[in-house]
Amino acid sequence: MIDGSVVVGAGPVGLATALLARSRGLSVHVLERLPATASKPGSRAIFLHRQTIQTLATASPALSDQLVSEGLVWPGRTTYWAGRQVHHHRYEPVPPKLAPFVSLPQPRMEELLREAGMRAGVTISWSTEADEVVNEDASVLIRTAGGREWRSAFVVAADGARSAVRHRLGVPMNGDTTGNAFVVVDIADDPTRPLPAERVFHYRHPLAAGRNVLFVPFTGGHRIDLQCRTGDDPALLATDPHTWLRPLLPPGHACEVTWSSHYLFRQTVAETFTIGRVLLAGEAAHLFAPFGARGLNSGIADAAAAINAIVTADTDHRALADYDRVRRAAAERNRAAAGQALAHLTATGPHRRAAQRAAAVAAHVLHRAGTWLDSKPYGPRDAGIPGSLY
């Protein structure tokens, strides 16, 4: 019996949950399906907002210092329409402590979270797959397929999009999958042919046969998102990216692809985030299209709220219900914000397409038109979640 909590999943949300639990004096144990040495296939998240870094700083100032010193803050952003610049913005330099965000590959974030967790006394059972979950009167029983058991006061399920815990407890996901495919590729920096260290969005890139292309720098490389068109084969574009990538890079660029994938993005939210003494967090609870970087940032907001609920549950009988109410409402708003970004990118309907074309024409005389084109691919900055951006 563990008097504190078990966290299922040592992804970034599970690791953050465990770290935040330790900082509140809870004992916590993490169960992870994969071995400690497994390299996870995806690179995925890169953008951590200051709000997230500040949340992590409450548990480990050293971790937030590392994220800020290793992460990249891109100094500006530029937007093009069919090869013509329609907007450019340079950020005022700020001291590292005030960095508005950092851009760092997810595997490195997870290493730093894991090290901070170890320093704080988080324990992890690797190669341990939670299979059965039973809510009891005042505890939760977790059993692995091999028959090992853990009993704890609470469980936070941070076991990702295919959450076994959520399935076992019979919680459906509500929402849908987008029709448009995206190919996402990471390339390593080539110091001899540097790309701009800026975030650059191209509407209708002339060298990508008029597709939308987003470049996002991170420490050590660039993320490139290619928006597929009807008739594209996303699997082929992801497995053989060099053909479409090379024309987008400076001549002679090494074009070393470090990761590639393709997606139809899901926009789904779990029907409830609290089942007895089990709290769902991160992708176990919600999936958003990544434009606006709401997935992991909101997962860490879930982690902080879940630990608050657990800490106060003894004295506040509504704490777990409030977790469900507040974080599920946040997820629905995050999904709506990501949905707005998607709707803009896919420009369904003649009105949206006409508005974008008109803004592109107006942008060379009307700054506001360029700003509009620049901001829309990421959705609203403030999704209307009380007290949180995510």
Ligand X SMILES: Cc1cc2nc3c(=O)[nH]c(=O)nc-3n(C[C@H](O)[C@H](O)[C@H](O)COP(=O)(O)OP(=O)(O)OC[C@H]3O[C@@H](n4cnc5c(N)ncnc54)[C@H](O)[C@@H]3O)c2cc1C
* Nearest position to ligand X, beta carbon: 11
Q: Residue 54 or 85: which CB sits closer to ligand X?
A: 54
What is the DSSP secondary-structure string of 251-279?
A: TT----EEEEEEEEEEEEEES-SEETTEE
Q: Residue 26 or 280: which CB sits closer to ligand X?
A: 280
Residue 50: C-alpha distances to residues 55, 66, 221, 297 (Å):
9, 13, 21, 9
Please report how close the Cβ of residue 266 comes to ligand X at its closest, in angstroms: 10
Q: Does 130 bind ligand X (CB under 6 A)?
A: yes
Q: Residue 217 or 282: which CB sits closer to ligand X?
A: 282
What is the DSSP secondary-structure string of 109-125?
A: HHHHHHHHHHHHT-EEE
Q: Does 124 bind ligand X (CB under 6 A)?
A: no
Q: Residue 109 or 309: which CB sits closer to ligand X?
A: 109
Q: Residue 282 or 370: which CB sits closer to ligand X?
A: 282
Q: Does 389 bind ligand X (CB under 6 A)?
A: no
Q: Does 283 bind ligand X (CB under 6 A)?
A: yes
Task: Give the neighbor-by-neighbor strand order of the sheet with 221-227.
Answer: 84-90, 76-81, 199-205, 211-218, 221-227, 173-188, 257-270, 286-287
The label of the residue with tokens 């979950």 reads 133
Structure tokens at 346: 């896919």
Q: Does 234 bind ligand X (CB under 6 A)?
A: no
Q: Write the interaction track for ligand X spanning residues 34-73; mark x where CB under 6 A is met and - where it is not.
A: x---------xxxx--------------------------
Q: Residue 259 or 372: which CB sits closer to ligand X?
A: 259
Rounded Cα distance between 123 and 232, Å, is 46
Q: Residue 283 or 374: which CB sits closer to ligand X?
A: 283
Q: What is the dihedral of CA 218, 82, 231, 182, to 10 degrees?
A: 20
Of 109, 184, 320, 369, the one binding ligand X (CB under 6 A) is 184
Residue 65: C-alpha distances to residues 29, 53, 55, 169, 240 (Å):
25, 9, 12, 38, 38
Q: How far, rounded to the nearest angstrom, does the alpha carbon of residue 127 sit from its chain's CA centroid?
A: 24
Q: Residue 34 or 188: which CB sits closer to ligand X?
A: 34
Interacting residues with ligand X between 248 and 277 (CB under 6 A): 263
Residue 75: C-alpha distances to residues 25, 190, 201, 217, 330 (Å):
39, 19, 15, 10, 30
Q: Does 340 bind ligand X (CB under 6 A)?
A: no
Interacting residues with ligand X between 148 and 177 (CB under 6 A): 158-160, 164
Burial class (CB in 10 A: 0-12, 13-18, 19+), 65: middle
Burial class (CB in 10 A: 0-12, 13-18, 19+), 300: buried
Please report how close the Cβ of residue 329 comes to ligand X at its closest, in angstroms: 18
Of 71, 221, 282, 377, the one binding ligand X (CB under 6 A) is 282
Task: Candidates 31-39, 66-74, 84-92, 185-193: pick the segment binding ligand X (CB under 6 A).
Answer: 31-39
Q: Does 13 bind ligand X (CB under 6 A)?
A: yes
Task: Candidates 30-38, 247-255, 305-313, 373-381: pick the segment binding ligand X (CB under 6 A).
Answer: 30-38
Element (H, E) at 6: strand 2-8
Interacting residues with ligand X between 287 and 306 (CB under 6 A): 290, 293, 295-297, 299
What number of chain residues touch ligand X (CB under 6 A)? Answer: 31
Residue 68 DSSP label? H
Task: Candidates 3-11, 115-123, 244-252, 346-354: pick the segment binding ligand X (CB under 6 A).
Answer: 3-11
Contact status, residue 228 vs residue 234, Cβ threshold 8 Å: yes
Please report how close the Cβ of residue 59 comes to ligand X at its closest, in angstroms: 16
Q: Does 342 bind ligand X (CB under 6 A)?
A: no
Applying CB under 6 A, which residues contact ligand X? Answer: 8-14, 31-34, 44-47, 129-130, 158-160, 164, 184, 263, 282-283, 290, 293, 295-297, 299
